[in-house]
Amino acid sequence: MGNETSSTRIAACHVSPVFLSAKDTTLKAISLIQEAAGNKANLVVFPESYIPAFPVWSALRVPTENHAFFQRMVTESIYADGEEVDAIRAAAKQFGVLVSLGFSEKVRYSSATLFNSNVLIGADGEILVHHRKLMPTFYEKLTWAPGDGHGLQVAETKFGKVGVLICGENTNPLALYTMTAQGEQIHISTWPAVWPTRLPHGDTRSTHVVESSKIDAQPRRLTIAPGVDYDNVGANRTRAAAHCFEAKCFGVLCAGVLGEDAIASIALSLALSSAVSSSSSSEQEVVRSSVAQGLERLPRGATMFLDTTGTLLPGFTLNPKTSEKVQVDFLQKEEGILYADVDLEDCVEGKQYHDIAGGYQRLDVFELKVDRRRRQPVIFE
């Protein structure tokens, strides 16, 4: 259907899941949808892999020590046609809003294959787009399989033409151009709460970990000099802003929050891992405390909006008692819902200068083909 209004209110939920609990996180999501709809939102957005969690542990420990976390991730990941997504669809229909939901998806043809997925749900409760992240990034490959091109679609809704790409996909110029070439007006990019590229350090100088010596099998302390942590805010905004400028669309960057339950669980698991299994309880507590402090200090992702030139579009929060607007540039460490009102007519002017999928493109020189077939492990005839 075409646009029925040029103004759309977007609600970006900057929130944590209930760590590795699909049921409780789904209930939390429904509560947030209800709250956002009550504040007249038309589009409600959740972070990457919101249900049941983002696998931060894969950045912190070797794969041979993550079996228990992976098993829990498999157990709590959800089916695209399962009861959790059905409950979110029912909420979208009940409150008449679009919902973009990031989740870890399991499939019925395998007991352990997972995808980093997103569904865009219409205000009638129907799934408009079901996307699987094309390529898991870095250590994400230890959890998720590569997706396919089936979900590289822009949904035409009465609140605008909406597209979604997940995290590192927003670095892929061909994926971004594919969305531009479908007339995208609102581009959603979803992100994790943190994305460690260094071991978290408990102080700003070094990290002390307990490890067994290969020579004498006695516990010893190693000092790991800190490197430069990944700048989630800068890196994410750079990519999203470039796309907004090129596509002349609005940007919704929705990142998660690292909850205290996640920090406690990951820190304890690290302390009890095989690297410190021969250490005393006091030494394990040093590691647990150091890792917890390090996780707290990791650079957090931010939830924000960008206008059609790629410039920061200040959002606002709403006082739950008075409904008073408080202007906010972005949300980072604390949970909340960030709102923005966008006028889709603002997508027009910039197209006069650079319509890179239209009048400013050389279709006789460049050609892009996208295979949208959903891949299956076997085809029966």
The one-letter amino acid code at 175 reads A
DSSP 8-state symbol, 374: P
Task: Indicate if 347 belongs to the active site.
Answer: no
Distances (CA, A) of 356 to 72, 176, 306, 369: 44, 11, 19, 16
**323's tokens:** 């409904």
CA distance 273 to 284: 9
Residue 277 has φ and ψ, to the nearest 5°, of -65, -25
| Angle at 241 (CA atoms; ends 13, 236), nearest 5 degrees | 55
Distances (CA, A) of 363 to 185, 356, 358, 367: 21, 10, 8, 6
DSSP 8-state symbol, 274: G
**153's tokens:** 């679609």
Strands 186-191 and 207-212 turn out to be unpaired
**185's tokens:** 């007006």
**78's tokens:** 């959800």
CA distance 85 to 102: 10
**341's tokens:** 């009102």
Task: Indicate if 48 belongs to the active site.
Answer: yes
For residue 198, with 0-12 CB atoms within 10 Å meaning exposed, 13-18 middle and 19 or more buried, which class applies?
Answer: middle
Distances (CA, A) of 233 to 110, 293, 323: 36, 20, 28
Helices (runs of H) and strands (runs of E) counted in the chain: 7, 16
Residue 211 · residue 222 · CB < 8 Å: yes
Task: Indicate if 351 belongs to the active site.
Answer: no
From the candidates 28, 84, 106, 167, give the one annotated as an active-site residue: 167
From the candidates 48, 76, 84, 246, give the one annotated as an active-site residue: 48
DSSP 8-state symbol, 138: G
From the candidates 13, 28, 106, 133, give the one annotated as an active-site residue: 133
Residues noted as catalytic: 48, 133, 167
